[in-house]
Amino acid sequence: MIELFPRPRIVIETLGPDEADALADIHADAFARSWSAEEFEALASDARVLTLGLRRHSVIWPPRLIGFILIRVAAGEAEVLSIAIRGANRGRGHGRRLMDEALRHLYRERVETCFLEVAHDNRAALSLYESLGFKTVGERKGYYHRNDGPAGAALVMRLKLR
């Protein structure tokens, strides 16, 4: 059967500072405390920060950035600074694809350990990280700003890559 509208193609690519507005837009949709386009411009210009984006290409709409991950790498250690998928696109495997690609990159770069922080009640993110082998190694109380209540605790998680 001929497909009238072929499935959108999803491409993971390295992003530069020219994508700062789109990165800030996705971040603002995902987090209570948003980061400005200027902050993203600085991060995406930093050679120590791996900035990967996930872009959807369809035959109908112009290509659209629907997610990103930013990871800072220094002295054999990496820290996930942020990861987000646009709301309507969550739960379709995109977050896992971004994490897989980023971890492959870190492994190739001979990074030994990857850290991240996650709100203790962020079930989707926790489940993703645990399934990739991240273990909780610490907790920071009152760390996560919320619009609707007191700041929540963050878990510090670690993955040993080598």
Ligand X SMILES: CC(C)(COP(=O)(O)OP(=O)(O)OC[C@H]1O[C@@H](n2cnc3c(N)ncnc32)[C@H](O)[C@@H]1OP(=O)(O)O)[C@@H](O)C(=O)NCCC(=O)NCCS
Residue ranges binding ligand X (CB under 6 A): 30, 83-85, 90-96, 118, 122-125, 127-128, 131
CB of 23: closest distance to ligand X in angstroms? 13
Q: How far apart are CA 111 and CA 39, in angstroms?
A: 25
State whether residue 27 is helix, strand or coil: helix
3-class SS at 1?
Answer: coil
Tell the smallest beta-carbon distance from residue 29 to ligand X (Å): 8
Nearer to ligand X, 17 or 152 (CB): 152
Residues 53, 94 contacting (CB under 8 angstroms)? no
Strand partners, 78: 73, 114
Which residue, judged by CB position, is nearest to ligand X in the bound state? 95
Rounded distance, CA 108 to CA 97, Å?
A: 17
Closer to ligand X by Cβ: residue 124 or 153: 124
By beta-carbon proximity to ligand X, the closer residue of 9 and 96 is: 96
- Smaller CB distance to ligand X: residue 3 or 77? 77
Shortest CB 161 distance to ligand X, Å: 18
53/95 with CB nearer ligand X = 95
CB of 102 vs ligand X, minimal distance in Å: 12
Exposure letters 64-103 (e unless 16+ CB within 10 A, then b): ebbbbbbbebeeeebebbbbbbbeebeeeebbebbbebbb
CB of 1 to ligand X, least distance (A): 28
